[in-house]
Amino acid sequence: MSKIMIVEDDIKIAELLQSAIQKYGYEAVLVQDFGQVLEEFRQAQPELVLLDVNLPSYDGYYWCRQIRRVSTCPILFISAREGEMDQIMALENGGDDYITKPFHSGVVLAKIRSHLRRAFGEYAGVRQEAVIEQAGLILYPERLELQLGKDMVSLTQKETDILESLMERYPRVASREALLEKLWDQPQAFVDENTLNVNITRVRKKLQELGIEEAVLTVRGTGYRLNVTWEEGV
């Protein structure tokens, strides 16, 4: 049974969608905390998301970008905005389709079925697992694992996010602001920077478990940079 996550703050519309979706044999879950949409997505692991544009705290475009960091599942925007620019923004921020309100539930269900077939049906392309590699150090973001040679360690989600940023930006610096926003899904001004320091320390310890020392350098006043101190293929 495919699971559909509904991100809609109008409870009447949300429950209408939920009822229609469940009648067609899908599981439908409603987001409860609109300040923690990404966290609820990670917990629910839906196959498709219905996402409103106008939401409390952050708009649907923001949450679409956050979901796209961790998933390629179909995201269908549902909005009362009918402007061409709104539809362009939805697609450019990672959305797959755009449905305007008021809508007919039959159209929504037809689009859901179509996108699920395309993403997960027998004609769907085989999706390769995400892998990030630097000098033989291999990060598997979806598994939350880091490997060097035959040795592997498990990571938390935040440790994975930090290593992903450092490895993707190498040899450039990953700024503290960018790391804070990526890790906590909100502007860095609302997060105590000491929490980043704690997570950087944990990343260094995980690297040490693989025999890697001094691989995360602090760039004063800016952020952090990956330093390749290990031998490739160890």
Instruction: Kindly give the confidence (pLDDT) of every residue in the chain, 234 residues in length, as a single tens digit, with 9 standing for 90 and above.
Output: 789 999 999 999 999 999 999 999 999 999 999 999 998 998 899 999 999 999 998 999 999 998 988 888 899 999 988 888 888 899 988 999 999 988 888 999 999 999 998 887 755 555 567 889 999 999 998 888 999 998 999 988 889 989 999 999 999 999 988 888 777 654 444 556 678 889 999 999 999 999 999 999 999 989 999 999 997 645
The answer to whether the beta carbons of residues 65 and 93 sit under 8 Å apart is yes
Report helix, strand or coil for 223.
strand
Amino acid at 189: A
How far, in Å, CA of 77 to CA of 68, rounded? 14
CB atoms within 10 A of CB 124: 11
pLDDT at 108: 93
What is the CB-side half-sphere exposure of residue 31 using CA atoms within 13 A? Answer: 27
Angle at which helices 157-169 and 193-209 cross, to 10°: 80
Task: Give the CA distances from residue 208 to residues 44, 59, 151, 232, in Å, rounded to whole numbers and listed in that order.
Answer: 33, 40, 12, 16
Listing DSSP states for 86-101 in one string gives: HHHHHHHTT-SEEEES
Total H helices, total E strands in the chain: 8, 12
Vertex 47, ends 45 and 52: CA angle to 5°?
A: 90
Report helix, strand or coil for 154.
strand
Q: What is the CA radius of gyration of the chain?
A: 20
